[in-house]
Structure 1
Amino acid sequence: MTREYRLHAPAGYESGTPVPLVIALHPYPSTGWEMSQLIGLDEVAAREDFLVAYPDGIGGGFNALVCCGSADDVGFLAALTDRLVDTWRVDPDRVYLTGISNGGDLSFRAAVEASGTFAAIGVVSGGFIGERAAAAGYVPKQPVSVITFIGGQDRYAEQFRTGVGAWQERLRCIPVTPPPSPPAADSTLTRARCADGSDVESYVIENMGHSWPGASGGGMAAPDVGVAATELIWKFFAAHPRQR
């Protein structure tokens, strides 16, 4: 099967210098192009000098934890990473996944099933959910740090909270004390360090639904919640290269 993706390279890209890669996964139904227009990650990449890949799912979706289709999307992401490491001088220790909704669910699945490929994931309005995630022992075999954003008004909010809790319980994560200050009104932030050395950072934005916080345009944008997920995700990624 032929798979498609859009690749954004910043103006300062030089093929002789290893660079980080962020793979951004769209919701269902959507496309990589629409994802690029929603989250504003190209602008951050231009400033910070990293590549961004926007894959297209089959039929507008990815085969994640609870939806959609039967494509080997974890294999696709691993193959895409290998290709970009080989042809675009991506630093294999600085490869990251981010996604919203269906794309966020796939980020969790790939973190487990392609363990060792991705240093960290950033999940927005998505979660570690469904029968696959409920199975005992379904965790990464190598450290993968997680930053996640949950809207308190999202109809899946409780499932997402439960999923983050299960992830931390299985990886024996200990809350960081003292707890961090809330990032904005009507929101909370928790941090934890896991036994394998990975980190979990979780934002809950009570006045947000199934959206991307800080995005300025599109049906899934939440521009006025006081949290800018795109900037926070990159800051988290930059601080979490792959652990060996």
Structure 2
Amino acid sequence: MPDPVPARRFPTRARRIAATLLVALLALVAAPATPARAATGGYFHGTYTNLAGTRDYHGYLPSTYRTGTPIPLLVALHGCTENDVGFDLLTGLSALAERRGFLVVFPDQSTFANPAQCWNWPLSINQHRGLGEPSIIAGITNLMRSRYTVDPARVYVTGVSAGGVMSMIMAVTYPDLYAAAATVAGCEYECDVLRLRTPDQAGLDAWREMGSRARPVPVLVFQGGADLVVPPVTADRIVGQWAQTDDLAIDGRDDDDVTATPTLVERGQVPGGRSFTHSIHRGPDGTVLIEKYLIDGAGHVYPGGCWCSLYGDPSGPDASGLSWDFFVAHPRA
């Protein structure tokens, strides 16, 4: 599943540092006016290794962080032909982390693991807890938790395209770690690109994968209505999978506590930009569990993405800001 953003590979540590500094510069240019202390927030980078492999990462710690005061954490996963730095540029998440006061980390897929830098979501080993790339991403997440004072109830995951598929896998395999998840141009758990299996079947498999850790996971879905890479109907498959998974996670019964039929559908319009359809699915207690944005005329792009990326779509709704609003409203109980 290709990602829209051209590859930006930095084979040496010096180039990676230079690229991170570029992210910082563009974040300062693109961000609205903030107090002077915003410039003291810090970028960091490192390498994580476990039995499944080694991956680089970089992240941003906001200037408001104080050791001992719990802070939310967002794990952000890039798409194919992209890397961690490019995804930061595209989404503006480091600048948003400074403004909104959360820690963000960007795991980087290795070209040795995949020459196109795709997360290898089609492989079965990468669809289960404690194995493959999910174990690496969870490991980086837990490294951040050990290094900083992270609120365990406010750890989230998001991604675009191949990273969006992986964000859904992470929400299924580690529901005890991630409070909520978002995906842009992603796919349902086990991603049946031929659509031979129903979303309900994927939802049942996801619930079984959760095992004793099963819980209703709130999920936010973005999809372009003119996407030629990921068919727009895929967004409905994601919703259908999570409706079934969350329904089963509530009480272990397939009794339509959550359904693929939205509770509310509303139209929206970005001033001077794209129109979209916003669908909301609630649980039996009225809690919002699933939201979907289907964006009119948008292709395989990141909605609201930076003008500095060829595939950013500034005319779309602000996926980064909307995702963080969704996350704030969904801490893990």
Task: Settle same-fold status: TM greater than 0.5.
Answer: yes
Further displaced range: 79-88 or 145-154: 79-88
Amino acid at match of 1:160: A
Taking only aligned residues, the RMSD between alpha carbons, in angstroms, comes to 2.4
Distance of 1:195 and 1:107 partners within structure 2 = 25
Aligned partner of residue 291 in structure 2, secondary structure: strand
CA distance in 2, matches of 1:142, 1:63: 25
Aligned length: 241
**How far apart are residue 82 of structure 1 and its match?**
1.6
Instruction: Tell me the equivalent position of 2:311.
Output: 220
2:264 and 2:84 map into 1 onto residues whose CA distance is 39
* Alignment partner, residue 215 of structure 2: 142
Structure 1 window deviating more from structure 2 (72-81 vs 163-172): it is: 163-172
CA drift of 1:183 comes to 4.7
For 1:132-211, list aligned pairs within 5 A: 135=202, 136-139=204-207, 140=210, 141-155=214-228, 156=230, 157-172=232-247, 173-174=258-259, 177-184=263-270, 186-194=275-283, 199-211=289-301
The structure, 1 or 2, with the larger RCO (C-alpha pairs under 8 Å, 6+ apart) is 1
Structure of larger gyration radius = 2
Instruction: State which drifts further: 40-49 or 66-75.
Output: 66-75
Q: Cα 1:181–1:162, aligned 2, differ >3 Å: closer, same or farther? A: same
Residue number in structure 2 paired with 1:235: 325
CA distance in 2, matches of 1:75, 1:81: 10
Q: CA deviation at 1:177?
A: 4.3
Q: Which residue of 1 aligns with 2:94?
A: 42
Matched position secondary structure for 2:268: coil
The yes-or-no answer on 1:130 pairing with 2:221 is no
Instruction: Give the superposition deviation at 1:103.
Output: 0.4
Please identify which structure carries the higher helix content.
2
Uncovered stretches (5+) of structure 1, i.e. residues with no partner: none
1:63 corresponds in structure 2 to: 120
Does structure 2 conserve the Cα–Cα contact (< 8 Å) formed by 1:63 and 1:69?
no
**Segments of 4+ moved more than 3 angstroms:** 66-71, 131-136, 174-181, 183-186, 194-198
Aligned partner of 2:4 in structure 1 is: none
Match of 1:20 among 64, 72, 76: 72
**Alignment of 1:96 onto 2:156:** yes
- What is the rounded CA distance, in whole Å, between the counterparts of 1:67 and 1:208 in structure 2? 29
One-letter identity of the residue aligned with 1:147: L
Identity %: 32
How far is 1:142 from its partner? Answer: 1.8
Letter in 1 for 2:110: I
Q: Distance in 2 between matches of 1:186 and 1:198?
A: 22
The structural deviation recorded for 1:46 is 0.6
Give the Cα separation in 2 of the matches to 1:68 and 1:57: 17
